[in-house]
Structure 1
Amino acid sequence: MDSINERPIEEHEKETLHSPEITARKSESIMVAEQGSGCEGLCAAHCKIFRGIICRSIQTVVFSSRLNLLMPFGPLAIVVANLTNHHGWVFTLSLLGIMPLAERLGYATEQLAFYAGDTVGGLLNATFGNATELIISLYALKSGMTRVVQLSLLGSILSNMLLVLGCAFLSGGIVFNKKEQVFNKATATVNSGLLLMAVMGLLFPTVLHYTHTEVNFGKSELALSRFSSCIMLLAYTAYLFFQLKSQRNLYVSLAEEEEQSGDNLEDDESPNISKWESVIWLIVMTAWISILSEYLVGAIEGASTAWNLPVAFISVILLPLVGNAAEHASAVMFAMKDKLDISLGVAIGSSTQIAMFVIPFCVVIGWIMGRPLDLNFQLFETATLFLTVIVVAFLLQEGTSNYFKGLMLVLCYLIVAASFFVHVDSSS
């Protein structure tokens, strides 16, 4: 009986032996235990361990990135907004303040993804990477700026599919220029199909509006948008079940297959913070982003006037560049490590989530709030999205990537940005 009881203890000791965090906690508890005894010594030991964990966590998350030097711009934006009426400065400072928060949000998500695997990790990256866009959209919707909601979400899709994915392909192709990188073709095909379904949901209300074939003018378009949004939410829920439960083996990345077969022994990465630390940082970053988003949205129209820039260009190009900072950094980093499945899950998965979940969700929330948000994104914007989805679907159909494909996507994004710079949005 003694030998049976000792086995789990020995195995547990072997598992925790190589954990630097647990080793540090043990050494701290031994040091503090020598200084006191009884309940007081135990409380002092726990307090010192807790303080040590907090200090290490802050040092790892806050002081490990040079981009965090922009964090003081967030509080400065709030001060400027309360003391002056310079909307251009408020918008700029809020934009700069949100950028490191979005990047750190992605970092905390990556740390959490270490405990979840590549498939769930890619989904987590896409979900929390889109938290910035969702928060900004909800504040804009609350303020009645439905057109800003449409344009910012459209810009996020375009930015993820062209700029983020293009930079990932380009950087990965440059690092691994002697070979062609590969990814899970089945995953890319399913995501391309969902994006085409999203384009269909946006296309019919737009065509209905411009052909003047509505049964009840102004009402049928909105009713169709709300019905299509519910269908798209149902389809995305079914996709999550398909991805995580029903056909989970279909979404096992090539990197995970190599790890399971023992071919990828050189990759010995480990998380820098614990699972619960990652969750706490996600909550803190999301709350701070939501505060700055209110100031950012309130200054959009004033910034458009001050800078003499179209609201469409600010919403489609500038806002997504900040909101997609997390996805951009994650996708490029994983592509340079030859983990293209995660990069694809972050970039294309994020676009799919915005198109199939965030946009329909905002329509339903607008319905509840009494805001007439529909899926009619106007003809120019819908055509841009349709062509983008077609181009990306063609480039993904082979299941391989190289630097030239990445360069093509980045150049396509530059064309889109230039188009919105000279485009006058009549609806706004």
Structure 2
Amino acid sequence: MESVEKMDIELNEQGLDGSPVCVKKMHLFEHIGPLAASAQSYGPKRTHSRVLMSIYIVIFKARINVLVPFGPLAVVLHYLTGKHGWVFFFSLVGIVPLAERLGYATEQLAYYTGPTIGGLLNATFGNATEMIISIYALKNGMIRVVQQSLLGSILSNMLLVLGCAFLSGGIVHSNKDQVFNKAAAVVNSGLLLMAVMGLMFPAVLHFTHSEVQYGKSEVALSRFSSCVMLVAYASYLFFQLKGRHNLYSPIDEEENQNDDVDSDEEDAPEITLWESIAWLAVLTAWVSILSGYLVDAIEGASEAMSMPVAFISVILLPIVGNAAEHASAIMFAMKDKLDITLGVAIGSSTQISMFLIPFCVVIGWIMGKEMDLNFQLFETASLFITVLVVAFMLQEGTANYFKGMMLILCYLIVAASFFEHIDPTVNDN
């Protein structure tokens, strides 16, 4: 441990690229443009030191990594005991630190890509856990688990994550109302309402029994709507990256520019570009492995814990998958950076509804699975009401602890509703 601390001191004196810290801070964003600049030639000793330091920073420095052993324990229990309740619980706990470290590695990578791409990377890799779990469940034919887990991620981000962020930021800054970019909130609210439209029409078509071909029309409509939603999301990305000013940038950007020196000292990256990419690959692979055991144990865990599968899919799985977003959103809100908080929470919900859900429909189409946008009446109504409530909360462009408390209480109502909700057992097809 002493050798690791010595390496930490040496790296702090020289910086990640071997240059003095003062030089690095002055030229941080001048050197990170070309990829070759981040791949400096290291001697064998220097490379070995960087590897050890990277392992120390990512694995041993974070206290939440004390939960990492729960993952291997879940794998062992799967083969030795076959008790699905314990396998599900340990897999769930083991994924929590991996989701948080994925968020950390993404934040480190964002230093080298800029704020716009960095915000999109945060939303994308923040949803990597949900995407992996959904693909495994879809492969096993568990379409309802896919639908409910993705719906739960949207509800969790919009109500629980955003509510906790507003509450924490409001308590820290209780002497004022926090302000955020209302234009960004309006754009995301519009996309979320479009997603509700895409989910509502297949459900209405099904429950009104007005399909041209019973059991097939809603699947065809879902696949067409999914392609349209993917085009809309691609247009949104182009609008964000090329068409308009970055929606993730704070409205008080001019004031923040006066504090560049302080922000450089606080926000200097701890690991290099290629180390960030390598850790993202390793963590994503381990999440993929654990997700397989988690999905296999869902139905057995539902019987063992006497909980509906709907409650497990909508409430428990998203809380774990959104661990990184939850921590990041609260941290930025307490620093009075609500624009980044909205980029994490609402941006993540927008990406799930406009990209991940249609993407799963298309992937199911390729796999031969009839994944559709008919999320059933109860789930669709829950999403519709949630989007309306959040859009109403964001329309003023201000936030305080009272709004945060209201969003959290709304999430408790949703959680209680799904605890009492039994998924239809009859397959209408």
TM-score, with length taken from structure 2: 0.89
* Mapped partners of 2:388, 2:13: distance in 1: 48
Secondary structure of the corresponding residue to residue 296 of structure 1:
helix
The 8 Å contact of residues 236 and 357 in structure 1, kept in 2 or not, is answered as yes
* Corresponding residue to 1:274 among 250, 272, 286: 272
Query: 2:34 corresponds to which residue?
Result: none
* Mapped partners of 1:19, 1:234: distance in 2: 46
For residue 164 of structure 2, what is the amino acid of its counterpart? C
Secondary structure of the corresponding residue to residue 208 of structure 1:
helix
Q: Deviations over 1:249-272 (max 9, x none)?
A: 555322544334x25654332111
* Corresponding residue to 1:295 among 288, 293, 296: 293
Secondary structure of the corresponding residue to residue 132 of structure 1:
helix
Q: Structure 1's 313 and 79: CA in aligned 2 closer, same or farther, altered over 3 A?
A: same
Count of residues paired in the alignment: 395
Counterpart mapping for 1:160-239 below 5 A: 160-239=157-236
Secondary structure of the corresponding residue to residue 16 of structure 2:
helix
* Mapped partners of 1:272, 1:74: distance in 2: 26
Counterpart mapping for 1:107-146 below 5 A: 107-146=104-143
The 8 Å contact of residues 308 and 422 in structure 2, kept in 1 or not, is answered as yes
* Mapped partners of 1:357, 1:385: distance in 2: 16
Query: 1:30 corresponds to which residue?
Result: none
The 8 Å contact of residues 119 and 248 in structure 2, kept in 1 or not, is answered as no
Query: 2:30 corresponds to which residue?
Result: none
2:314 equivalent to 1:319: no
The 8 Å contact of residues 249 and 339 in structure 2, kept in 1 or not, is answered as no
Q: Structure 1's 150 and 250: CA in aligned 2 closer, same or farther, altered over 3 A?
A: closer
Counterpart mapping for 1:9-408 below 5 A: 20-23=15-18, 46-249=43-246, 251-254=248-251, 256-260=253-257, 262=258, 266-267=262-263, 268-269=265-266, 270-408=268-406
* Mapped partners of 1:387, 1:168: distance in 2: 21
The 8 Å contact of residues 126 and 350 in structure 1, kept in 2 or not, is answered as yes
The 8 Å contact of residues 162 and 329 in structure 2, kept in 1 or not, is answered as yes
Q: Deviations over 1:163-190 (max 9, x none)?
A: 0111111111111111211111111100
For residue 301 of structure 1, what is the amino acid of its counterpart? E
Q: Structure 1's 48 and 255: CA in aligned 2 closer, same or farther, altered over 3 A?
A: farther
* Mapped partners of 1:216, 1:23: distance in 2: 67
Mind listing any 5+ residue stretches in structure 1 that lack a counterpart?
1-15, 27-44
For residue 385 of structure 2, what is the amino acid of its counterpart? L
Mind listing any 5+ residue stretches in structure 2 that lack a counterpart?
1-10, 22-41
The 8 Å contact of residues 166 and 399 in structure 2, kept in 1 or not, is answered as yes
TM-score, with length taken from structure 1: 0.89
Query: 1:421 corresponds to which residue?
Result: 419
For residue 401 of structure 2, what is the amino acid of its counterpart? Y
Q: Deviations over 1:193-248 (max 9, x none)?
A: 00000000000000011111111111111100000000000000000000011113
For residue 246 of structure 1, what is the amino acid of its counterpart? G
For residue 285 of structure 1, what is the amino acid of its counterpart? L
Secondary structure of the corresponding residue to residue 113 of structure 2:
coil
The 8 Å contact of residues 119 and 253 in structure 1, kept in 2 or not, is answered as no
* Corresponding residue to 2:410 among 401, 405, 412: 412
Query: 1:32 corresponds to which residue?
Result: none
* Mapped partners of 1:318, 1:416: distance in 2: 13
The 8 Å contact of residues 259 and 265 in structure 1, kept in 2 or not, is answered as no
Two-structure CA RMSD over aligned residues (Å) = 2.0
* Mapped partners of 2:100, 2:259: distance in 1: 32
The 8 Å contact of residues 130 and 354 in structure 1, kept in 2 or not, is answered as yes
* Mapped partners of 2:260, 2:334: distance in 1: 16
Q: Structure 1's 408 and 286: CA in aligned 2 closer, same or farther, altered over 3 A?
A: same
Q: Structure 1's 181 and 320: CA in aligned 2 closer, same or farther, altered over 3 A?
A: same
Which has the larger displacement, 52-61 or 16-25? 16-25
- Aligned-residue identity in percent: 71
The 8 Å contact of residues 258 and 264 in structure 1, kept in 2 or not, is answered as no
Q: Which has the larger radius of gyration?
A: 1
Q: Structure 1's 19 and 168: CA in aligned 2 closer, same or farther, altered over 3 A?
A: farther
Spell out structure 1 runs of 4+ moving beyond 6 A: none
The 8 Å contact of residues 25 and 49 in structure 1, kept in 2 or not, is answered as no
* Mapped partners of 1:105, 1:249: distance in 2: 24
The 8 Å contact of residues 105 and 279 in structure 2, kept in 1 or not, is answered as yes
The 8 Å contact of residues 17 and 23 in structure 1, kept in 2 or not, is answered as no
* Mapped partners of 1:204, 1:198: distance in 2: 11
Query: 1:10 corresponds to which residue?
Result: none
* Mapped partners of 1:145, 1:215: distance in 2: 26
The 8 Å contact of residues 118 and 342 in structure 1, kept in 2 or not, is answered as no
